[in-house]
Amino acid sequence: MAWNVSGLMRMGRFLLLVIFFLPCEVTSSVLTVNNRTENYILDTGLGSQESLECAVQNHTREEELLWYREEGTVDLKSGNKLNSSSVCVSSISENDNGVTFTCKLQRDQSVSVSVVLNVIFPPILSGDDFQTVEEGRDVKLVCSVKSNPPAQMMWYKNSNFLNLEKNYQVLQTSESLQLSITKVEKSDNGTYSCVANSSLQTETKDFHLIVKDRTVTMPIEPIIAACAVVFLTLCFGLIARRKRIMKLCIKDEDPQRDTAL
Ligand SMILES: *[C@@H]1O[C@H](CO)[C@@H](O)[C@H](O)[C@H]1NC(C)=O
Ligand SMILES: *[C@@H]1O[C@H](CO)[C@@H](O)[C@H](O)[C@H]1NC(C)=O
Ligand SMILES: *[C@@H]1O[C@H](CO)[C@@H](O)[C@H](O)[C@H]1NC(C)=O
Ligand SMILES: *[C@@H]1O[C@H](CO)[C@@H](O)[C@H](O)[C@H]1NC(C)=O
Ligand SMILES: *[C@@H]1O[C@H](CO)[C@@H](O)[C@H](O)[C@H]1NC(C)=O
């Protein structure tokens, strides 16, 4: 039985070798997307529509084509697969920026042409419009940005270029511009504008920071402890006094007893 299994395995390996060394069918077929044989970048804009037509050239037989959006296959109608195939990308949004569409030959997927969408759009800013912070606390204003081409970013306060004072710290990433304020003071109250300047457009978003008075918080634990001490003192006091009161009562009763006797 064991011999049989290893025999089968050897046979399997042999078959695999045979398959590997079988002369591959030479694919002379070439793919084109919108008449281009090489991968390329397609510049487009928001709301646009792009049609990508993939066609097989120099084919000796009928070829089936596949389309991929990134790693996922695109569902194609049956009449849109053989020898040529089109996909239409409509209502292009900023989220389509950088997305790759690839056409492949079904029979030999190494034959492919890719198109990367380069969606050009003005800066899009987002974040919390209003933030309330207590005096003395730390706060962070986060201005999220999407822009292609990338925008030059800066903060303004009450329409003046933000003076980077001691308690301000600015951090810029590809996705946001942040302003951290430590130990907020009353004077930090105001409107902070996040400005994104791209070659297409300058966009501004206002962030309102409202600095509240410091609220005096009662330390709860010491209060409980103090209450307990007061309560216990009262209790002991009462017990001690009760003994004295009792004694007084007994003394008071004694003369009556005397008189009664
Ligand atoms: C591809 O080329 C053909 C002929 O040269 C032309 O008719 C067709 O419009 C082109 N297609 C695209 C998408 O450019
Ligand atoms: C098709 O084949 C011919 C001859 O083999 C060649 O000259 C031509 O460049 C090929 N076309 C493409 C698109 O590769
Ligand atoms: C695809 O191309 C092959 C070879 O040129 C041809 O025989 C076949 O009819 C074509 N099929 C379609 C659906 O165009
Ligand atoms: C604090 O800033 C907000 C937002 O800019 C503003 O509406 C408000 O009047 C300011 N309050 C004070 C006391 O300056
Ligand atoms: C935006 O940047 C351009 C140069 O890149 C400059 O000329 C322009 O003044 C800037 N606009 C603002 C509002 O900063």
How many other C-beta atoms lie within 10 A of the C-beta of residue 190? 13
**CA distances from residue 235 to 143, 188, 231 in whole angstroms, order as listed:** 60, 52, 6
- The reported pTM is 0.68
DSSP H or E stretch at residue 253: helix 220-260
Residue 253 has pLDDT above 70, yes or no: no
Decide whether any atom of ligand 5 lies within 6 Å of the 201 Cβ.
no
Q: Which amino acid is at 80?
A: N
**Cα–ligand 5 centroid distance for 150 (angstroms):** 13
Give the tokens for residue 148.
Answer: 């292609």
Domain ranges within the chain, ordered by starting residue: 28-120, 127-212
For residues 44-56, average pLDDT: 96
Decide whether any atom of ligand 1 lies within 6 Å of the 32 Cβ.
no
Instruction: Using alpha carbons, select from 36, 28, 26 the residue that is nearest to residue 103.
Output: 36
What percentage of the chain's residues is helix, strand, coil (to nearest 5)?
Answer: 25, 40, 30
Decide whether any atom of ligand 1 lies within 6 Å of the 84 Cβ.
no
Decide whether any atom of ligand 3 lies within 6 Å of the 166 Cβ.
no
DSSP H or E stretch at residue 136: none
Question: Which atom of ligand 5 has the smallest separation from the CA of 197?
Answer: 1
DSSP H or E stretch at residue 230: helix 220-260
**Closest ligand to Cα 188:** 4
For residues 33-48, average pLDDT: 96
Decide whether any atom of ligand 4 lies within 6 Å of the 131 Cβ.
no
- DSSP character at residue 200: S
Whether 127-212 and 28-120 are alike in CATH topology: the answer is yes
Distance CA 143, CA 199 (A): 19
Task: State the pLDDT at residue 157.
Answer: 92
| CA-based radius of gyration for the chain | 40
**Closest ligand to Cα 59:** 3
Residue 52 pLDDT grade (very low, low, confident, very high; cuts 50, 70, 90)? very high
Q: Does domain 28-120 have CATH number 3.60.110.10?
A: no
Query: In what order do the strands lie in the sheet containing 130-134?
Result: 130-134, 202-212, 190-197, 152-157, 160-161
- Ligand 2 mutation pick, 54, 57, 60, 84, max ligand atoms within 8 A of CB: 57
pLDDT per position as a tens digit, 116-159: 999 999 999 999 999 999 999 999 999 999 999 999 999 999 88
Distance CA 97, CA 174 (A): 14
Mean residue pLDDT of the chain comes to: 85
Could you tell me if 208 and 127 are in contact, meaning their C-beta atoms sit under 8 angstroms apart?
no
**Cα–ligand 2 centroid distance for 58 (angstroms):** 6
Which CATH architecture fits 127-212? Sandwich (2.60)
Residue 27 has pLDDT above 90, yes or no: no
**Cα–ligand 3 centroid distance for 62 (angstroms):** 5
**Cα–ligand 4 centroid distance for 144 (angstroms):** 23
Task: State the pLDDT at residue 20.
Answer: 53
For residues 39-67, average pLDDT: 95
Decide whether any atom of ligand 1 lies within 6 Å of the 86 Cβ.
no
